[in-house]
Structure 1
Amino acid sequence: MPDIMPFRALHYKQETMNHAEKVLCPPYDVISPARQQELYELSPCNAVRLELPLESDPYQAAMERLLEWSRIGELVRDAEPAIYPYMQTFEDAEGAVYNRTGFFCAMRLHDFVERKVLPHEKTLSGPKADRLNLFRKTKTNISPVFGIYADPDKAADRQIAAFASSNPPLIDAVFQDVRNRMWKITDKEIVEKVRAGLQHRTVFIADGHHRYETGLNYRNERAAMNPAHTGNEAYNFILACLANMHDEGLIIFPIHRLLHSLEQFDALAFRRQLEQYFVVTELPHREALKRYLADEPSIYAYGVVTREYMLGIVLKGSPEELLDHATPDSLRKLGLVALHEIVLGRLLGITPEAMAKQSNIKYIKDEAELYAAVENGAAQAGIVVKPTTVQQVVAVSESGEVMPQKSTFFYPKIMTGLVFNPLD
């Protein structure tokens, strides 16, 4: 386990935290231009003005705003180090209620080769350059990395639950249909028990790969410029929200695929191609497809939706025989790898570069949006996928491999604006 430390958080003043739904925002990578504008209008102090400013020089704007909000007392720094328990209560599409518990802390940055913190997805250079510019200007972690660890005994969870049950939260706000509650623990004995409960455990990055790698790059920059570098400076740590993978509220939703802009795409010819590799079942409606995927035990099962048909398909051969022999074993056990290699690559000719650039593919979380895009002609076909499991994330991470782009959607997102982490 990497070192996890209490830290002196920078956060909104209590009067603002009493109405935190006005100042919270999602992380930058899920904020559309329309949502960005809505968040700007929600409050003159919404965290989007730090996380993703609209100004032509967003990094300078974020820095100036951070300094100004601190000067006028809108943002305040805690006097003593703390960890910050965080609970999110939400419903899934079926109306089932979940409660996910984690806590904010400062987590020591480790290179992946040290195997104390492990990734599971690929990163792109563009977002890392953007976040590095924000780190450099603000010298602050604006939004956290989300990490998960395995503790079946739930030692840290028990400490947090006991504290939360007997203390009122600092924040209790509903944002985008998710209830967000946050506490502050300064008691050194409790903090140490939480830390002890996580000893010798690996952290797997669930969300925030670009932020974590940016943290590494920023640490290296600062260390190189500091002749008195000791390894214990604030820039050696990153703001993290950690949760136990054995928490019943840790949910991964699927990310579906929309196909578009494919030259000479023929839906009927595509169906015949699919029959080479899959057992194909025609289905009458969305509910039937939903039941098909729920009942089909194979991880290599998918839904295919076009204007002409709706299909349930399941791989009819052995993945060991059908997939590229160079594909590592941990990746062969992922349904998305078979989908990308056989359907998108082999049958439709979409290259890995085109997938990364989304030249012919769009990744969406809302299944209703998939059906609407196919019906209105915005997409030529939609692929409905099963969710990746936590166990698959861990297996791929431990193997040293990474999953295909957009393999996981841990829901809900950790909100930005609860706490910030100064790096000076």
Structure 2
Amino acid sequence: MAEILPLKAWRYNENLEQSIDQLTSPLFDVVSAKQREVLYLNKFNSIHLSVPTGNDPFEDAAALLQNWKDQGVLIQDAVPGIYVYYQYFTLAGASKEYCRKGFICNIKAYDWHEKVLLRHENTIPSAVNDRIDLLERTELNTSPTHGLYTDPDFILEAYMDESIKSPIYETEDYQGVRDVLAVIHDHAVIELFMRTLQNRQVLLADGHHRYEGSLEYRKKMMALNPEHTGFEPYNYHLMYLTNSEHDDLRILPTHRVLENIEMTDEDFLEKLREYFVVTPKEDAYELNEVITGKNWAFGLYISGNAYKLRLKPEVHALIEWEIPQEVKDLDLTVMHYFIFEKVLGIDREAQRTYKGLSYIRNFTECVSKVDTGKVRLALITNDVSMAQVKKVCYSGAIMPQKSTFFYPKVICGFLFSSIKEDEFVTAPAACF
């Protein structure tokens, strides 16, 4: 089902005085303001292409990209390849080292209705528009999104394991993750990768905004091209693909914080009790532990007071959203329906763009923001399992926005993928 292609990546010139770890950056949606300030000081850092600044940032990024090509800062690989990407990491409180194995390639930007690439969560419209503008001006994918294919036979892993023994790059990133990149040029092996994915659907794990940016750009270009064939470079998107059957896939929770609510703490808690069992807790730093493994359970930290919230089982059937049961059963659906819509009066559509609602992965940061008065309250949630993600994807439905955080994030700067006509491998036959 999924058509993938090798690519001739643009990569930093090996003769630059700076090492690759000085040139990489976090993805646009996770890089903090403080990180940006530091990264912008390096005139060659990839942040200038992925999160450009200025009065006309996207045009400036396009001009900078052309300058880097002209000056030899970036050089295009001469031969198309599949880029193997391994990430070695540990999790807080555990000593085990995990390894997420995958590879980077171009994949056709399938529309959702084609049921080849499946999404699992909503997007935030403003972020999609931002990615469309950047792609249109630069004709460059600055970082891969993350997709999952299912292969219980692990057909490709032996070839990736062999390739990673001869890395192009090896560095430690801002997450403390060891990132290793290698490349496969062997024609027969590349064809095996392409054939293996032909019979698979792909679940979009991370990068919904960037993927939708590519999808919308493809639609726009198709409308402008009466000779459209489906093989033009604008049809494709850069993706990091991993096997969903691996034990080392990890999904971390994404918590919610609200700057303010239009009611007193007492009124808020009273309304919550219509749907939840509300249990006070002495220590806010235990909230993530007291809900672990419990269905429809959340931590609430408001005005210095901590509570455990557990949905009353009999009220779950009151969810009126027209969504499949697989989605109704999710913790975050319960949170967004009963807390945001029923208690706070923020309807489902308004939640996607609601000002003052933020999404934070770090539990300690949530508590700190409440303690310092930056936000009024924090809602702590459990993670989502891989089985739940699959169920939702295959049901054809989507989760609330920011439902999953596949850890670790890929980094920006190892390679870039151009969709310019003369810089792209345009069809499988042209690869070789």
TM-score by length of 2: 0.91
Q: Deviations over 1:15-38 (max 9, x none)?
A: 449821111112222234332221
Does residue 221 (structure 1) correspond to residue 220 (structure 2)? The answer is yes
Does residue 347 (structure 1) correspond to residue 346 (structure 2)? The answer is no
Match of 1:377 in 2: 373
Match of 1:192 in 2: 191
Contact 2:260/2:377 (CA < 8 Å) preserved in 1?
no
Q: Which moved more, 1:16-25 or 1:390-399?
A: 16-25
Shift of 1:257: 1.2
Change (3 A) 1:308 1:170: closer
* Matched position secondary structure for 1:28: coil
Match of 1:136 in 2: 136
Shift of 1:265: 2.3
Match of 1:329 in 2: 325
Shift of 1:227: 4.5
Opposite residue 79 of structure 1, the aligned amino acid is A
Contact 1:330/1:399 (CA < 8 Å) preserved in 2?
yes
Shift of 1:389: 1.6
* Matched position secondary structure for 2:298: strand
Change (3 A) 1:233 1:360: closer
Q: Deviations over 1:138-189 (max 9, x none)?
A: 112122221111112221223211322xx32101111111211100100112
Match of 2:290 in 1: 292
Match of 1:60 in 2: 59
Contact 1:332/1:338 (CA < 8 Å) preserved in 2?
yes
- Structure 1: unaligned runs, 5 residues or longer: none
Identity %: 33
Counterpart Cα distance in 2 of 1:347 and 1:219: 41
Q: 2:352 aligns with which of 349, 356, 377?
A: 356
Counterpart Cα distance in 2 of 1:263 and 1:210: 31
Shift of 1:69: 1.0
Contact 2:124/2:353 (CA < 8 Å) preserved in 1?
no
Counterpart Cα distance in 2 of 1:186 and 1:329: 45
**Root mean square deviation of aligned Cα:** 2.0
Change (3 A) 1:283 1:272: same
Shift of 1:219: 2.1
Does residue 310 (structure 1) correspond to residue 306 (structure 2)? The answer is yes
Q: Which moved more, 1:187-196 or 1:168-177?
A: 187-196
Match of 1:28 in 2: 28
Change (3 A) 1:206 1:223: same
Q: Deviations over 1:173-217 (max 9, x none)?
A: 111112111001001122222333333211111111122122122
Shift of 1:351: 3.2
Counterpart Cα distance in 1 of 2:262 and 2:285: 31
Opposite residue 111 of structure 1, the aligned amino acid is D
Match of 1:38 in 2: 38
Change (3 A) 1:224 1:324: closer
* Matched position secondary structure for 1:106: strand
* Matched position secondary structure for 1:197: helix
Q: Which moved more, 1:335-344 or 1:304-313?
A: 304-313
Q: Which moved more, 1:254-263 or 1:323-332?
A: 323-332
Shift of 1:65: 1.2
Match of 2:424 in 1: none
* Matched position secondary structure for 2:274: helix
Shift of 1:358: 3.3
- Structure 2: unaligned runs, 5 residues or longer: 421-432
